[in-house]
Amino acid sequence: MSAHKTLKLIGFVSIAISLSFGALFASAQEKFGFGKPAHPDEIARYNSDIHTDGSGLPDGSGDVALGAEIYEYQCALCHGEELEGVPEMGANSLHEGRRDIKKLPYASSLFDFIRRAMPLTDPGTLSNDETYGLVAFLLNETGVIKDDNLTLDAKSLAAIKMPNRQNFIIDPASRFTAEDLQ
């Protein structure tokens, strides 16, 4: 191979290398820019989740009496008149086992899930007041807070300390400790 050709080849290779490096560099540094900025209204429409400190809890309130009324016609068919559960409807007892309300670590989960996913055949239709009422009813009924006049709102629900909280231990394989999660 002549020196001229060799030089040409080296030149070509180095241009090719710098081009490909350039492309890699660009992809590593620059943004793709796909998607649109989320409008706050759009976030608010979907951001229904309740954090364990109670943030996300909406306005409104409900008491045990309201909850009992809602429970009777929205929940009892599957969960049973006495919260005993109707297995053929897919619902286990709320007094014992894995669905035992006394065992929940946070009341926020209860509000979040009822408002999000219940009733099974028409999820997401309970009002905030009705959901507060149901949480009050369930906590009273299961003896977590024995108070027939219990009324819950964002502030009072966030203040509830569930009695079983300290019994939750964190699987080390999750790479978190209990302290990380406080």
Q: Should residue 29 be labelled a site residue for another protein when binding is judged by CB under 8 A?
A: no
Minimum CB separation of residue 44 from another protein in Å reads 10
Contacting range for another protein; rule: CB under 8 A; set: 5-13, 47-55, 69-77, 138-146? 47-55
SS3 of residue 61 by DSSP: strand
Candidate residues 4, 5, 43, 179; the one interacting with another protein per rule CB under 8 A: 43
SS3 of residue 83 by DSSP: coil
Q: Should residue 161 be labelled a site residue for another protein when binding is judged by CB under 8 A?
A: no
The structure tokens listed for 83 are 């919260």
Q: Should residue 168 be labelled a site residue for another protein when binding is judged by CB under 8 A?
A: yes
φ, ψ dihedrals at 168, nearest 5°: -80, 120
Q: From CA 137, how far away is CA 19, in angstroms rounded? A: 68
Q: Should residue 112 be labelled a site residue for another protein when binding is judged by CB under 8 A?
A: yes
Minimum CB separation of residue 156 from another protein in Å reads 19
Q: Should residue 26 be labelled a site residue for another protein when binding is judged by CB under 8 A?
A: no
Minimum CB separation of residue 41 from another protein in Å reads 12
Q: Should residue 52 be labelled a site residue for another protein when binding is judged by CB under 8 A?
A: yes
Q: 89 with 78: CB under 8 angstroms? A: yes
- Give the sign of the dihedral formed by CA 160, CA 166, CA 170, CA 172: positive
Shorter beta-carbon distance to another protein: residue 4 or 39: 39
Q: Should residue 103 be labelled a site residue for another protein when binding is judged by CB under 8 A?
A: yes
Q: 83 with 94: CB under 8 angstroms? A: yes
Q: Should residue 102 be labelled a site residue for another protein when binding is judged by CB under 8 A?
A: no
Where b means 16+ CB within 10 Å and e means fewer, 8-45 reads eeeeeeeeeeeeeeeeeeeeeeeeeeeeeeeeeeeeee
Task: List interacting residues with another protein (CB under 8 A).
Answer: 27, 31-32, 34-38, 42-43, 46-52, 88-90, 98-99, 103-106, 108-110, 112-113, 116-117, 120-121, 123-124, 164, 167-171, 173-176, 180-181
